[in-house]
Amino acid sequence: MFFIGISNNPDPLQFAELLNEIETQQQLNVTPLHLAAAHGELDLVNTLLAEGFDINSQTKHKRLMPLDFAIQENRLEIVKFLIAHGADVNHKIIKGFTPLSFASQQGCLDIVNTLIDNGADLNTKTDELNTPLHIAAQNGHLNIVNVFIEKGLDINAANNDRLTPLHLAVQSGNLKVIKALISHGSDINAGCSSMCNTRVETNITPLLFGVQSGRLDIVKALLEAGANVNAKTGDKITPLHVASQKGFLELVDILLKAKSNANAKDHNNYTPLHLAAERNQFAVIKSLLLVEGIDVNAKNHLNSTALHMGSQLGHIEVVKLLIEKKANVNAKKNKGFTPLHLAIQQKHFELSDFLIKNGANINITDDQGCTPLHFVAHHGNLEVAKLFLAKGADINAKTIESYTPLHLAVDNDHLKLVKWLLKNGADVNALDNKNRTPLHMAAQHGFDKIATVLLKHGASVNLTKNQRKHLAAKYGQKVVKTLVKNGADFKNIQLDKNPFSGSEFDQQQLPSTPPKVRIQKAEATISKPEAKEEPEPELPENKRLAMEEKEQGNAFYKKKEFDNAIARYRKAIEHDPTDITFYNNLAAVHFEQKEFEKCVKECEKGIEVGRENRADFKLIAKSFIRIGNAYKRMKKYESAKTCYEKSLTEHRTPEAESLLSDVENVIKEEEIKAYFDMELAEKEKEKGNELFKKGDFAAALRHYCEAIKRNPDDAKLYSNRAACYTKLGLEDCDKCVELDPKFLKGFIRKGHILQGMQQQEKAIFAFLKALEIDPNNAEALHGLRACFIENSNLEGDQNSEKIWQRAKHDPEVQAILKLPAMRRILEQMQNDGLCQIS
């Protein structure tokens, strides 16, 4: 009965379809009373109540009552009727909403007043402690906001996150609501809490929300009302910090005009200038630099200036502007890095040239004693090396461990650069603090081509016994033959059972350079041992102790004694805080313990240490993968995706590509799950049904598509959508032949659609029109024959003949039948027994 009551003139097909929905509605506990209330069928609501339907029955998932259904569809008459018959006006649905909260969200002013008049609790709060005023303000319903203000609701009430109605109004961007709240005494500088980049930020004012949204009109209104332009969050972030970082130039200018502090520092000592330089906000930087007293050389917690940040990120126009304003081009940050060091480290060579031309010291050193040319040698850029040498770079400058640029070029296998350095005066026999020459390094890594070049330029082949023994065992005959050919003595070398034990080369590596791993074991002659030589210099004490702790940690890790492993890795970090691998290992333990946040924290520390000490990019890539894996386990899939992408920028590996692909698929699946809502799907389907009945197939299609997104497992939705496509296809065919009456395919496709809809008579006419254009068209001929066959099978020959006789009396069909080609077609069909010609 209730189905019939929904429509005064129900279509039989729609009626049958609605009957199929009964089972779904029962599963959701949606009663006929719910639906009658939603559709505004007052007589039916009255009848159902008389038959004993529960006026306060609730649906399964959201606990919605018939009253809530009526509110959602703004059915005022039904709301009044239900209340008059005992509907509970203060019941709570999902998230702690009451009917008054719900009506405030929907913007139903008359219903809000009705609920208030019938005892709705004005002081009700949701699970998040939002009042009806919060909800109305958030959704921009000015009239309802004014009602609640008049009723005396607390205009400064704070929810769980200390958000007031004004905060929510600013977030939603409704200026009229904002002005109404301000005019009635809303606290313009109230502070709240909010999630920012996976952490909770505190003391956020409405002005900061306004700046974040980029709304000029809202910011102006708040400032005119007395908002504190220099209000700071818990992390000391001001509105100017946010506007500068986001590049909102007009907001920056308004804030500065309102006396915002251009030198304000956040908890990491970042000024607005730092943030603008980091994000390459050129116009904002230009505006900030016009402020009297701006500190262009302000330093953050890492002692970085804005020029450091612009140089590291390659923002050359920003760098030019900062230098014009007297930024210190030789300022040093932590580890002694200058803007020039950072530009070279990130391979911004054009920017490096600009810095040099504008006063950057070509031979300035960092805390490790590395000059810019050391960095160039590490990267192997020959053209930049030539430029630096022309500018006066010291080709034989030494680090604190006495590495020259040639040492680093050899250690990183840059053959062309090695040749050029040697031709331009590099000391081929320069010794580091361990008495190692560039040739030692070439031999250590098995770089026989570089070794040959060094020997041609006079490299000494003097090697200790341990060095010769190590080279013979580890790097093979090719390097050994090269050295022997040039005078090195490899006779009487006896190998240890473990040829790598005690080897200086096996344990040491250049600080700030990635280790090379190339193992090529070679055959060696075993004979009597020579007299013992003095032992080679060992690792620095702190590094030796760190490695010992690491090995013990590894042993504990393999035995799953994680607490002991953590203790050992932390000891290793205490001894040597510059090695990224210790942090990575510590993070691995936390990952196994499912302490994923700690895992992320240790990896992030490791990446910072790695970058400062120029660790192998592969290790940094590995750290990003581990962070991504931790985020994935925490179901923070977007963060995981970002980390996998960062790993690929460091070092592209199949593992990272696979992980990225997997998490992208998970994100898609989660988006689909988050969108799933059976109740909303039902509502969308109902809207589609109504529009379909009215003949608005395009609009109906949109609602069916939305319903499918909400509930992709409902077969009926696809059937309904298919019906829309059929109707739209027919409309398109009609429009097609209207625009071009000779468009053959338009008639053929129309015929196929009508044939599928079992409208054989209309289909015959469409195919005949097609044959009028092209009497020999096989598809139209086949369609026409199929229509007669289908009709004959379904209705019998007599009925088929009736359809044919009716078609023949159509003037357009008569004109087609006069065509000679058409007569031949019909004669053939007559012979097949499909029609009779008369």
In the chain, what are the domain boundaries? 409-507, 561-675, 740-838
User: Which amino acid is present at 565?
Assistant: A
Q: Flag the least confident range among 11-15, 248-252, 557-561, 717-721.
A: 11-15
740-838: CATH topology is: 1.25.40
What is the tens place of the pLDDT at every residue in 576-628?
A: 999 999 999 999 999 999 999 999 999 999 998 888 887 887 888 899 999 99
- DSSP for 723-782 reads HHHHHHHHHHHHHHHHH-TT-HHHHHHHHHHHHHTT-HHHHHHHHHHHHHH-TT-HHHHH
pLDDT, position 12: 39
Q: Where are the beta strands (DSSP E) in 23-82?
A: none
Q: What pLDDT band is residue 25 in, cutting at 50, 70 and 90? A: low
DSSP 299: -
CA-closest candidate to residue 71, choices 60, 63, 80, 62? 80
pLDDT of residue 832: 52
Q: Are 429 and 408 in contact (CB under 8 A)?
A: no
Q: In whole angstroms, give the CA distance from residue 244 to residue 214.
A: 11
Mean pLDDT over all residues of the chain?
83
Joined tokens for residue 725: 């496509």
Provide the pLDDT confidence category of residue 512 given band limits of 50, 70 and 90.
Answer: very low
DSSP-derived 3-state class of residue 396: coil
Is the model's pLDDT at 536 over the cut of 50? no
pLDDT greater than 90 at residue 768: no
pLDDT tens sequence across 173-216: 999 999 999 999 999 998 886 644 434 567 899 999 999 989 99
Contacts of residue 777, defined as CB under 8 A and 6 or more positions apart, other chains included, come to 744, 748, 770, 771
Q: What is the mean pLDDT of residues 318-322?
A: 95
3-state secondary structure 278-291: HCCCHHHHHHHCCC
CB 513 within 8 A of CB 615: no
Pick the range with the lowest mean pLDDT from 220-234, 651-665, 729-743: 651-665
Please give the angle made by the CA atoms of 99, 105 and 111, to the nearest 5 degrees.
50
Per-residue model confidence (pLDDT) at position 584: 93
Q: Is 284 left (phi over 0), alpha (psi -120 to 50) or beta?
A: alpha
Confidence of residue 167 (pLDDT cuts 50, 70, 90): very high
Query: So what's the pLDDT on residue 462?
Result: 64
CA angle 336, 341, 342 (to 5 degrees): 100
Q: Say yes or no to pLDDT of 421 above 60.
A: yes
* Residue 488 confidence (pLDDT): 58
* Token duo for residue 543: 């590094």
Q: How far apart are CA 77 and CA 341, in angstroms?
A: 75
Position 671 scores a pLDDT of 73
Q: Identify the CA nearest to 239 among candidates 268, 218, 209.
A: 209
Distance between CA 74 and CA 94 in Å, rounded?
A: 19
d(CA 355, CA 479): 41
103 CA to centre of own chain: 35
Interatomic CA distance for residues 97 and 94, integer angstroms:
6
Q: What is the pTM of this model?
A: 0.56
Residue 811: pLDDT band (50, 70, 90) is low
3-state secondary structure of 199: strand
Partners of residue 195 on adjacent β-strands: 200
Higher-pLDDT residue of 269, 24: 269
Q: Is the pLDDT assigned to residue 506 strictly greater than 70? A: no
Please check whether residue 703 is in contact with residue 687, taking contact to mean a CB–CB distance below 8 angstroms.
yes
Which whole number is the average pLDDT over 748-772?
87
**Cβ atoms of residues 468 and 493 within 8 Å:** yes
Q: What is the dihedral of CA 726, 728, 731, 737, to 10 degrees?
A: -80
CA dist., res. 39 & res. 32, Å (int):
11
Q: Do the beta carbons of residue 75 and residue 42 sit within 8 Å?
A: no
Angle between helices 349-357 and 382-390 (to 10 degrees): 0
* C-alpha distances in Å from residue 444, one per residue of 38, 438, 472, 494: 81, 10, 10, 18
Residue 829 contacts residue 835 (beta carbons within 8 Å): yes
Beta strands in 561-661 (DSSP E): none
Residue 239 has pLDDT above 60, yes or no: yes
Q: Which residues face 201 on adjacent strands?
A: 194
Predicted local confidence at residue 834, as pLDDT: 46
List the single range of 157-171, 234-248, 303-317, 775-789 with lowest mean pLDDT.
775-789
Quote the pLDDT of residue 736.
92
Residues 565 and 557: their CA atoms lie apart, in Å, by 5
Give, as one character, the DSSP assignment of residue 834: S
**pLDDT mean over 822-838:** 52
- How is residue 351 written in tokens? 């920017």
pLDDT, tens digit (0-9, with 9 covering 90-100), for 618-666? 888 899 999 999 999 998 998 999 899 888 877 778 788 889 988 888 8
- Between CA 419 and CA 85 the distance in angstroms is 96
Please give the share of the chain, as a percent, with pLDDT higher than 90.
53
* Residue 434 pLDDT grade (very low, low, confident, very high; cuts 50, 70, 90): confident
CA distance 63 to 55: 13
- pLDDT score for 645: 87
**Are 311 and 348 within 8 A, CB to CB?**
yes
561-675 CATH: 1.25.40.10
Q: What's the distance, Cα to Cα, between the start and end of the chain in Å?
A: 53
Superfamily for the 409-507 domain: Ankyrin repeat-containing domain (1.25.40.20)
Query: What average pLDDT score do residues 809-814 get?
Result: 55
- Residue 719 and residue 143: Cα distance in Å, rounded? 42
Helix then strand then coil, in percent of the chain rounded to 5, is 60, 0, 40
Query: What is the rounded CA–CA span in Å between residue 218 and residue 333?
Result: 39
Whole-angstrom distance, CA of residue 795 vs CA of residue 44: 42
DSSP per residue over 250-296, as a string? Answer: HHHHHHHHTT--TT---TT---HHHHHHHTT-HHHHHHHTTSTT--T
In this predicted structure, the answer to whether residue 793 has a pLDDT above a threshold of 90 is no
Do 409-507 and 561-675 fold alike per CATH? yes
Give the separation between CA 460 and CA 439, rounded to whole angstroms.
8
Q: For 97-112, what is the mean pLDDT?
A: 95
Phi and psi at 602, nearest 5°, equal -70, -40
d(CA 305, CA 318) in angstroms, rounded, equals 12
List pLDDT tens digits, range 693-711.
988 888 899 899 888 888 8
54: amino acid identity, one letter? D
Rounded Cα distance between 181 and 187, Å, is 9
Q: Which two tokens stand for residue 502?
A: 């005690």
192 forms beta bridges with: 204
Alpha-helical regions (H) of 289-414: 306-313, 316-324, 339-345, 349-357, 372-379, 382-390, 405-411
- Interior angle at CA 176, CA 191 and CA 170, nearest 5: 25
Q: CA 829: distance to chain centroid?
A: 64
Q: How many residues does the chain have?
A: 838
Instruction: Find residue 200's DSSP bridge partners.
Output: 195
